[in-house]
Structure 1
Amino acid sequence: MYDSQEVSTETPLVSVCIPTYNGKRFVAEAIASVLSQTYSRIELIISDDDSTDETVAIAHFFQQNSSQEIRVITNHNQRGIAGNCNHCITEAKGKYIKFLFQDDLLAPQCVEKMVDLAEKYPDIALVFSRREMFFDPGSETDPYLMIVYQDFQNLPAGWSQLQPVQWGRDLLSDPRLLEHPINKIGEPTTVLLRGEVCDRLGGFDPHLNQLVDLDLWWRIMAEYQVGFIDETLSYFRLHQHQKTYQNIQEGTDTDLNFFAKVSSHPDYNFLPLNLRQKLH
């Protein structure tokens, strides 16, 4: 849990959180990208959701062979992606929380640059940046992944007027807000969050199966400033084992429960009624 005493420290602690599940193929690369960060005060939290492969063993190897503070948490009752992310938030001690999904990577200066911007503006609760998509070898010919790459590679271009620092509610009033792609911030790997804000807003909604991250981004943006760094600071791997890809194969890739929440839940009373009605 976020420690309010952390506010007074000269170099704030950052909790880099990797929620894992059967991630043996990629998790070592993800961990290595954290250990290569130029930022000095990082606690690495690896929260495993009852994997049946060697994910936990890989995490323990890094824990035993690194001077970096690494905590490995094993959940014996599966929480799901949102629940596991929320568990990370609960365990985090840092002033800031930086998620890194097990198949993604951080650029070496990612944490340093994001924290530097957030520290300059105390009303910032969310910092995001450009991220680059790349194909896992053998996945570049998959027609669905090719569409994803073409449609979602340049998310910041979806905003009408994106500034380095601005109030989130200004972005929420963007006339292009509901245009594709609707998530113009990006995935958790490309975002830095202020820990106390995650605590206050309750984290990710486990009742959603798609756009779980966007739901939290919008709720944060309603009250706080947002920072944008116009550099590639993370890398999003495209492959056929991703949860969204699996949802598509299983026919459960619907955004309808997210739209239903936005249109009717009190959490979204900050949005204009006419906009919410468009989502009915």
Structure 2
Amino acid sequence: MTFPKVSIAIITYNQKDFLGECIESCLAQDYENFEIVIADDGSTDGTKEVILRYAAQYPTLIKPVLAAKNSGISVNCNNAWRACSGEWIKTIAGDDKLKPQCLSLFVAQAAKDEGTCDAYFSHMTTFDKNGAVNEVRLDDFFFGLSDEGRLKFALYKNPLPAPTCFIKKSALQDVGFADVDFMMLEDYPLWFKLLESKKKISAIDASTIFYRVGFGVSNGAEKICNIWYVRSLHLFRVKKLWPHLHGWSLLKKLDDLAYFYQNSIGYKFLGNQRGWAHSALVLLMAPLRLFSFLLLSKRVFAWVIRSTTLR
């Protein structure tokens, strides 16, 4: 069994209250050959001071990458990944936590596969401010598909949970890192590029991280959405996914447009607050989002994938 160097890339922006927990979870790994790269996207809440304090305490282990201004998560991820010196990169948000066996579970799986994979994903454990815990498993349906089937899957849904990803730095370099055109969406476009490039993706049958819910990029517990995330997702769909859609699958375009305008209207006219008005808006848009509701059935989704012809 080999023990490759793993770079833990912590991605932060205004996460002062949670970052210490994240760093401590990285330091507590039961695997020794790793470094920690912490990339901050121009925080203004004291996050940088937390980073510098830990970097001073662990100067040979922690490498800070501090941006002078906020540029979005895709740029911040690229800054972190380019600074990593490990063969493999484990990315984590600054408000999440690694489980103590996170790296060792990954290394054991990579050794079993004899270095044939380019990226791994695992199950994860979610938690919220009230202490509620939930286990979220990988989609077995996706991992049971052929390479072509996985690419078709990605036309309709984001197939992989970003918080659980391990990826070879060489694979990131091959596909050109995250696409900065989508400033608040670093993961979905990257998975699509990996699948288009026929990189080998595999699963770790274990939960490796604690993922904090209610404080994410896409939305919070009370807000309708992060409008910049919604705009990045829509731009990605229009530029990268829509060109592959034709025939009956054009219904997906209508669904995407309904999602975009539902969130845009909620953001602009409802003060970005959930409530009865937002619930009424969702209900009004529901007929236009029939495609998404149909895809909730795995039998229907399997038929959609089988009948899709890639352009």
The aligned counterpart of 1:114 is: 106
Alignment of 1:11-90 (within 5 A): 11-66=3-58, 69-90=61-82
Q: Identity of counterpart residues, as a percentage?
A: 24
1:185 corresponds, among 153, 160, 164, to: 160
Aligned residues: 247
- Greater shift, 213-222 or 66-75, is seen at 66-75
Structure number with the bigger relative contact order (C-alpha 8 A, sep ≥ 6) is: 1
Q: Say if 2:208 is the partner of 1:208.
A: no
Larger radius of gyration: 2
Q: Say if 2:134 is the partner of 1:172.
A: no
Q: Distance in 1 between matches of 2:77 and 2:191?
A: 14
The aligned counterpart of 2:136 is: 154
Alignment TM-score, normalising by the size of structure 2 = 0.69
Q: Distance in 2 between matches of 1:161 and 1:167?
A: 9
Whether the aligned pair in 1 keeps the contact of 2:118 and 2:168 (CA below 8 Å) is yes
The offset of 1:264, in angstroms, is 5.3
Q: Distance in 2 between matches of 1:272 and 1:118?
A: 35
The offset of 1:54, in angstroms, is 1.8
Whether the aligned pair in 2 keeps the contact of 1:203 and 1:216 (CA below 8 Å) is yes
AA partner of residue 235 (structure 2): N
2:205 corresponds, among 210, 230, 238, to: 230
Question: Residue by residue, what CA displacement relative to the aligned partner does 1:189-235 show, whole Å, maximum 9, x if unpaired?
Answer: 21000100101111112222565301111221331211111211111
Q: Distance in 1 between matches of 2:106 and 2:2?
A: 16
Going from structure 1 to structure 2, the CA distance change for 1:10 and 1:67 (only over 3 Å counts) comes to farther
Q: Say if 2:218 is the partner of 1:257.
A: no
Return the structure number with greater helix share.
2
Alignment TM-score, normalising by the size of structure 1 = 0.76
Q: Distance in 2 between matches of 1:221 and 1:167?
A: 11
Q: Which runs of 5+ in 2 are unaligned?
A: 254-311
AA partner of residue 210 (structure 2): Y
The aligned counterpart of 1:4 is: none
Q: Which runs of 5+ in 1 are unaligned?
A: 1-8, 141-148, 266-270
The aligned counterpart of 2:92 is: 100
Going from structure 1 to structure 2, the CA distance change for 1:184 and 1:20 (only over 3 Å counts) comes to same
